[in-house]
Structure 1
Amino acid sequence: MSLKLKFYNFFKILFPSSYSELAVFIFFILFYGTLGWYIALDYRIIFDSRIPWDSYFSFDNRSIVMTGGSFERHPLSYYFFNWIRELALFISDGKTNAVFRLALAWFSNLAISLSILQVFKYLKNIIKLPNSISSLLILFFGFFSTNILLSFTPENFTYTLFLLTLYNHYSAIKIKKEQKTPALALTLGGITIGGLTITNIVKVFIPILFEKNLFRSWKNLGNAAVRVLLACICFILLYLNRINFKYQYIFDQTNRQYEKFSNVKSIPTWDMIASFFLGGNILFPNFIVRDKHNMKGFHYKALIMDVYSSWIPYVFISILLIFICWSYFKNFKNKLVQVLMISFLIDIIIHCVMKFGLHTSYIYGAHFVFVYPLLLGWLFYSYRTAPKTLSFLAVTISILLLYMTLNNYFRMTEFFHFMNQYY
């Protein structure tokens, strides 16, 4: 295949290639863009030079924009955010003003809108769902709290969601065509996805497990091992170069971070899993205003999420979880479903079993929220010849979508009230 054709195929995957895909992309970029435009121009919460972290929902906006975040969790994001920051400063004529905030918001908007597009392409082109079902699921996904927040938030998670959805779509195409993931794609995936959040690098290698005849031939197994090894070597060398090959720093900082983010006992574990890990990424829970300071004498107000106070959100999350499990067991022999669930299982182990950042796991939603609409898509697909079951699923998702839209709209009005008071 010629280089020109490879570029063409890549851009065809990346951008809209049909009228329905273009409609989805335009709808969300305008929807999220309007929200980000208003917040960026009228409020300083997206980027305030005095506030490095936690102004809303534990996002580290200023810290991430200026430094890319901590090297032990986000090893190569420093380089990525250098480009983002410099481009935003170029647009704002070197000032961290409203134009600078608007540029950051629109970069985020573009990344999230393209993420939504990747999920829609998967539903339409990989699962082969009709546009009506794909549109319902993409609306459902588009109004998740994670997508709403990240659409104007300059964070690692914003771009992680885009890269994960893009790579997942790309690898699904390869598996469906019974083709191997090229070494170059694997290496780029490892460097970009793992570079923004190190734990996600494992997800880059999951699709290789489902390549055709992988375990039936030593040649195929060896070929896969070489591709994985090459990707790991490139990533490790770049990572070590980032910290001047002082590898002991990685272990020291990782231990400190684990202790810091894994010892919260004020909330029962089951409720943190339900309200933060499973729920907070989709359905906004209650909000709490807290006092914070930047360790240099400046005090400010921060907004964080609390657990659900009503039984209805717990029912909402339970229904959604039942549907996800239903889809998994119904499509257990489907390689693409296994890729999605293994990817999700990695986050379950990190946050729910190891309890890393469980009390703030709603901010990690970008690592796995795209799994929900895709598994729901496979559930619809498995009942494509059962009209009554399809109608039941469509009606249930529509009711969940209505409740989620009303809930998230109401919570966003609280968010604007918070900004009006303090930002």
Structure 2
Amino acid sequence: MSLIRKKIITLLKQVFPSSYTELVVFMLFLFCYGTLGTYIALHYRIIFDSRIPWDAYFSFDNKAIVMTGGSFERHPLAYYFFNWIREFSLFVSGGKMDATFRLTLAWLSNIAISLCIVQIFKYLKNIIRLPLKISLLLVLFFGFFSTAILLSFTPENFTYTLLLLSIYNYYAAVKLRKDEKIPGSALTLAGITIGGITITNLAKVFIPLLFEKGLFRSWKKFGNAAFRVILAIACFIFLYLLRIDFKYENILSKTNQQYERFSNVESIPNWDMMLSYFFGGSILFPSFMAADKHNMKGFHFKGLLMEPYSSPFCYAFVAILLTLILWSYIKNFKNKFVQVIAISFFIDIVIHCIMRFGLHTSYIYGGHFVFVYPLLLGWLFYAYRSKPVITSILMVITGILFVFLLTNNLFRMSDFFRFLETYYQ
């Protein structure tokens, strides 16, 4: 029992704030996001409206996700997770889907994103071991990403995916730093939770195993790793098939339908969708446009979508940020921690930019990958830790990017509130 208790305490210390500084970071974002989410939940019906299953803002599927967890082919086990979310919110609201119900959903999202930022801070502080001022700058920068702002009050798969990926990424980094293997139980739990909420993220769970010490030099270690992977996949497949009553033929047909639906949009050039939506929109808000929507049952409503960037400053922001990220990757190419992050990011690039799945709305997929930006920036600072001049230059550049991000995203959120005032009071 003492061993189990020790493991639980260790896990809780990794997930929740375990120092005064981490607590301050958590409380700061909890207050900021909580204020935003509380105001939206109490004054507007956009967080959850029983008449609007999807697309009220930026293609999020709030009502559909809360009620069903989403489609089984993309979110195979999310149904069970969101059953708990929904039932808890109904318990708090006394069984009514009213403002209190929306407020509970918003605060669960708020807590999730605030904890995600704590994971980013822990990684910067404990894995990269950056000075406090740089770590704080990077988490502030991340905290005002468009994805972080939107998911802080949005009950969606992406909200909890971002939290779980951040937790697992930090956990795996701790294991790699200690030259320890990731236990089969932890790998299975991560596969079921992360892959269960969004199936394409299942592959990311196994990336850290590639960098376990001596993996490819010992058949015993390689066999052990293979066993852990097979165990995790077997448990995931069993639960997946159980979820759909073992009607596995439905998976391929539904997946093909989804791919055809979300990958054949030609209205905007691919390069612009990549910059404005995938790389940019998940961080820096572009302008918005209102569109006519309906719920396929006769109810018409207004939805909000992101437009491609119209300002050269926005393109410049994205170009500078991507240059820094690429610079970090090249400079730290032999660093196993950086490779884990980069491979994870590459999976999303393949899915959305190369295969073009959902590229026209790829800003909503930021919950799968935006955490890599502050981490790769952190490794760039680490690479020049012994060169104060370059470190100072990097801090100035990051500071300028942060000021521009903050100004732009706050301005665009004012547009968002005008939309709410007009259509969702």
Write the mapping of 1:24-423 to structure 2, written as runs, cut at 5 A: 24-423=25-424
Q: Could you give the per-residue CA deviations for residues 343-392 of structure 1, whole angstroms, max 9, x where no partner exists?
A: 00000000000000000000000100000000000000110110110000
Q: Which runs of 5 or more structure 1 residues have no equivalent in the other structure?
A: none
Name the residue aligned to 1:3.
4
Distance (Å, rounded) in 2 between the aligned partners of 1:289 and 1:317:
24
Superposition CA RMSD, Å: 0.5
Amino acid at match of 1:136: L
Distance (Å, rounded) in 1 between the aligned partners of 2:27 and 2:47:
23
Distance (Å, rounded) in 1 between the aligned partners of 2:108 and 2:154:
9
Distance (Å, rounded) in 2 between the aligned partners of 1:14 and 1:266:
42
Aligned sequence identity (%) = 68
Q: Could you give the per-residue CA deviations for residues 285-312 of structure 1, whole angstroms, max 9, x where no partner exists?
A: 1101000000000000000001000100
Q: Structure 2 length as normaliser, TM-score?
A: 0.99
Amino acid at match of 2:27: I
- SS of the counterpart of 1:290? strand
Amino acid at match of 1:364: Y
Distance (Å, rounded) in 1 between the aligned partners of 2:265 and 2:9:
49
Amino acid at match of 1:115: C
Name the residue aligned to 1:20.
21
Distance (Å, rounded) in 1 between the aligned partners of 2:18 and 2:266:
49
Amino acid at match of 2:300: H
Tell me the CA shift for residue 263 of structure 1: 0.3
Distance (Å, rounded) in 2 between the aligned partners of 1:162 and 1:346:
18
Amino acid at match of 1:20: T
Q: Which runs of 5 or more structure 2 residues have no equivalent in the other structure?
A: none
- SS of the counterpart of 2:100? helix
Amino acid at match of 2:407: L
Distance (Å, rounded) in 2 between the aligned partners of 1:173 and 1:402:
32
Tell me the CA shift for residue 19 of structure 1: 1.1
Amino acid at match of 2:219: W
Distance (Å, rounded) in 2 between the aligned partners of 1:387 and 1:213:
35
Q: Could you give the per-residue CA deviations for residues 301-351 of structure 1, whole angstroms, max 9, x where no partner exists?
A: 000001000100100000000000100011111000000000000000000
Tell me the CA shift for residue 29 of structure 1: 0.4
Count of residue pairs the alignment pairs up: 423
Q: Could you give the per-residue CA deviations for residues 101-154 of structure 1, whole angstroms, max 9, x where no partner exists?
A: 000000000100000000000000000001100000000000000000000000
Amino acid at match of 1:202: A
Distance (Å, rounded) in 2 between the aligned partners of 1:164 and 1:267:
30
Q: Could you give the per-residue CA deviations for residues 53-88 of structure 1, whole angstroms, max 9, x where no partner exists?
A: 000000000000000000000000000000000000
Q: Structure 1 length as normaliser, TM-score?
A: 1.00
Distance (Å, rounded) in 2 between the aligned partners of 1:372 and 1:352:
17
Amino acid at match of 1:137: L
Distance (Å, rounded) in 1 between the aligned partners of 2:85 and 2:332:
40
> Where has structure 1 moved over 3 Å in runs of 4 or more?
none
